[in-house]
Amino acid sequence: MTNFEILKRLFKDYTIKYLNKIILAVFFSILVAGSTSATAWLLDPAIEKIFINKDQTLIFVIPFLIVIAFATKGISLYMAKYLMITVSEEVKKRIQIDMLSSFIKSDTEFVENKHTGRYVSNLNFDVNQITGMLSNSFLSFFKDGLTLIGLLTVMFIQNWRLSLIAIIMIPIASIVAKRLGKRMSKVTTEAQEKSGDLNKYLIDLFKNHKIIKIFQREKYEYLRSEKFVNDLKEKSIKIYTIYFRSTPIMETLTGIIIGILIFYSGKLIMNEQLSINNFFSFLAAMMLAYQPVKSLATIHVGIGQGLSAGKRILPIIDIQNKITLNENGKNLNLNEALINFDKVNFNYQSNESNEVLKNISIDIKGGKMTALVGHSGSGKSTLLNLIPRIYDPTSGQILIDGQIIKDVNLSSLRKEISIVDQNTTLFDDTVFNNIKYAKPDATNEEIYKAAEMSMSTDFINNLDKKFETIIGENGVKLSGGEKQRLSIARAFLKNSKIILLDEATSSLDSETEEKIQKALVELTSNKTTIVIAHRLSTILSSDKIYVIDNGSVIAEGKHNELLESSDIYKNFYNKQIKNN
């Protein structure tokens, strides 16, 4: 996207909604410009009438008008800044909401391909750059631009020759600003990357805090943290260094021009071509013009930062998901809940050369339990994730009761599916709300029943606040088995017709696993169930077992059949069952 396209997009999608406030801020900017110019202009009659002519009639009027001018400037400046800050914060809110909405709706594969810390940096660092462009740069453009025009008018009224000398600094300042802007855009992008690196590290630090303690890597992590923070510090210093690099140039330039003006003005006054009151009024306007010129010289920098951030943010908001809701599609009509994989292939977009699933064609009977067996990384979990369309096949089709799942309404599909994953995901909320997440309209009785069926009631009642206990980030206050039981409770609560169990009992001790297995029998009764389990004892009674190896189905059948036909399955069995 070009800079113009980014500005047009930000205006059309965000700032146009607050155009009335922006126009009002421009009006107050006009008042700021007018009152500032009036202050400089009033020095002319003040010096001439009061100090030179000693006119008593204006001794009260002119000071009073100067007070009014300063008060008007102060109030108008406050109102202009207040309005633009309000607008920028509203825009910030809308951009962040749009980004979060995009994250929530985006395909899982997209989210997995970028570290969480990068998204956090985009959401905070980059959005602040855009709001800074609105609240500071755009306000400065109107306020200081109009003020400069007003003061230049006063200067030309007093003496056009002196004014031509004074305005030499404007094109020089513009050249300086343009060069600084290009440099600033590059450094801001680098700073955003360092901010993302720091956020990535911070998230990893919290996730792996126990590992750091056990392996005694505190010193190593301290040195790493120092590096990440120092890298961001260096970029931040560079940003401010570039931002303020114009200061010595502008100060020196202003000093030179004032020196020339005083010299030339002295000659004009000596030759009686310029009166003292005209000179002081001109000099006041000249000195007051210094600040807006300086601000306008750096405005290009702020806009460059905002545009650079826009180039990173807008593509995130504009993400086009491969997996759409298909809201106009027909609802899934379940009868037997028979699932068919028809020549399904799959590979991740990030690694297209590596085929994860290869020509999978399997039939999963409705109302029965089907098991998937294979080594880690063979593609079992990926196959499972294709059913609720977490991912879509690269080629081939998946059908449920003869309906291609890609063609049906996505919500109606996922409504009929429950999953208990080996990587249990919980929210930093109460036990009650974590179970209720599966069915927001569930009654308290349904939630308590789901907890009971999943064998969760005992450990929940031992918690400080029972069902109202906050379990911490991803259930950090619970054991692995307790977290997994809450995940199973969700499946009980949702009570869907298709159950996906991915190592659902992997974190349970033998005694708890035995209890859960009984509960799972009831959960999966007369439901289409696909189970992945390393413990073959849990799947011996499956209606059919598929052996997956390197992304392909290499054997299928019941337990006894596979003992005869599959060496891989027989090897699994011998290691887990026979040797015990």
Domain containing 135 — which CATH number?
1.20.1560.10
395 and 259 within one domain: no
State mean pLDDT over 548-569. 87
* Whether 508 contacts 484, CB under 8 Å: yes
268 and 206 within one domain: yes
Domain for residue 123, yes or no? yes
Domain for residue 536, yes or no? no
Select from 317, 341, 358 the last residue of a domain.
Answer: 317
DSSP line for 288-344: HHHHHHHHHHHHHHHHHHHHHHHHHHHHHHT---SS---TTSBPP--SS--EEEEEE
Strands, E assignment, 401-448:
403-404, 417-420
For residue range 329-361, what is the model confidence (pLDDT) as tens digits?
899 998 889 999 999 999 887 666 678 899 999
Per-residue pLDDT at 560: 85
Does the pLDDT of residue 578 top 70, yes or no? no
441 CB burial (10 A radius; 0-12, 13-18, 19+):
exposed
Does the pLDDT of residue 160 top 60, yes or no? yes
Domain for residue 366, yes or no? yes
First to last CA, the chain: 64
Distance of alpha carbon 374 from its chain centroid, rounded? 38
283 and 355 within one domain: no
Record the tokens describing residue 513, joined without a space. Answer: 């696993």
284 and 355 within one domain: no
| Mean pLDDT value across the chain | 83
State mean pLDDT over 91-104. 86
332 and 303 within one domain: no
Number of C-beta neighbours around residue 435 at 10 A: 27
Number of C-beta neighbours around residue 51 at 10 A: 12
Strands 357-364 and 339-346: antiparallel
Select from 317, 343, 376 the last residue of a domain.
Answer: 317
* Whether 36 contacts 155, CB under 8 Å: no
184 and 243 within one domain: yes
For residue range 375-430, what is the model confidence (pLDDT) as tens digits?
888 888 889 989 999 888 989 999 999 999 999 999 899 899 988 887 778 888 89
Cross-strand partners of 341 = 362, 398
346 and 294 within one domain: no
**Residue 361 belongs to a domain with what CATH number?**
3.40.50.300
Lowest-confidence pick of 86-90, 261-265, 463-467, 560-564 = 261-265
Residue with tokens 């202003």: 254
To the nearest whole percent, how much of the chain has pLDDT over 90?
Answer: 16
**Residues in contact with 174: Cβ distance below 8 Å, sequence separation at least 6, in sequence order:** 297
Select from 299, 317, 335 the last residue of a domain.
Answer: 317
266 and 336 within one domain: no
Does the pLDDT of residue 577 top 70, yes or no? no
Record the tokens describing residue 62, joined without a space. Answer: 């002119």
Q: What are phi and psi of 319, to 5 degrees?
A: -55, 130
CA trace torsion 461, 462, 465, 471 (10° rounding): -100
Record the tokens describing residue 105, joined without a space. Answer: 């709706």
Domain count, the chain: 2
386 and 305 within one domain: no
247 and 161 within one domain: yes
Per-residue pLDDT at 408: 92
CA quadruple 289, 290, 294, 295: dihedral sign? negative
* Spatial separation of the C-alpha atoms in residues 534 and 376, rounded to whole Å: 9
* Whether 150 contacts 37, CB under 8 Å: yes
402 and 362 within one domain: yes
For residue range 474-528, what is the model confidence (pLDDT) as tens digits?
788 888 788 888 888 988 898 889 999 887 766 566 776 777 777 777 778 888 9
346 and 301 within one domain: no
Instruction: Look at residues 496, 431, 436, 434 and name the one whose alpha carbon lies nearest to residue 469.
Output: 431
* Spatial separation of the C-alpha atoms in residues 187 and 195, rounded to whole Å: 12
Domain for residue 47, yes or no? yes
Record the tokens describing residue 531, joined without a space. Answer: 């189970």
To the nearest whole percent, how much of the chain has pLDDT over 70?
Answer: 93
Domain for residue 469, yes or no? no
Which residue segment(s) compose the domain that 305 sits in?
A: 3-317
Going by the DSSP 8-state scheme, the letter that residue 194 receives in this structure is H
Q: Which range has highest mean pLDDT (54-63, 103-112, 125-134, 297-306)? A: 125-134
Does the pLDDT of residue 224 top 80, yes or no? yes
DSSP line for 114-166: S-HHHHHHIIIIIHHHHHHIIIIIIHHHHHHHHHHHHHHHHHHHH-HHHHHHH
Number of C-beta neighbours around residue 271 at 10 A: 8
For residue range 4-49, what is the model confidence (pLDDT) as tens digits?
888 888 888 888 888 899 999 999 999 999 998 888 888 777 777 7
For residue range 523-542, what is the model confidence (pLDDT) as tens digits?
788 889 998 877 777 777 78
Domain for residue 486, yes or no? no
Domain for residue 498, yes or no? no
Domain for residue 150, yes or no? yes
- 11-18 long-range CB contacts below 8 Å, 24 or more apart? 14/91, 14/94, 14/95, 15/87, 15/91, 15/134, 17/90, 17/94, 18/86, 18/87, 18/90, 18/91
Per-residue pLDDT at 530: 92
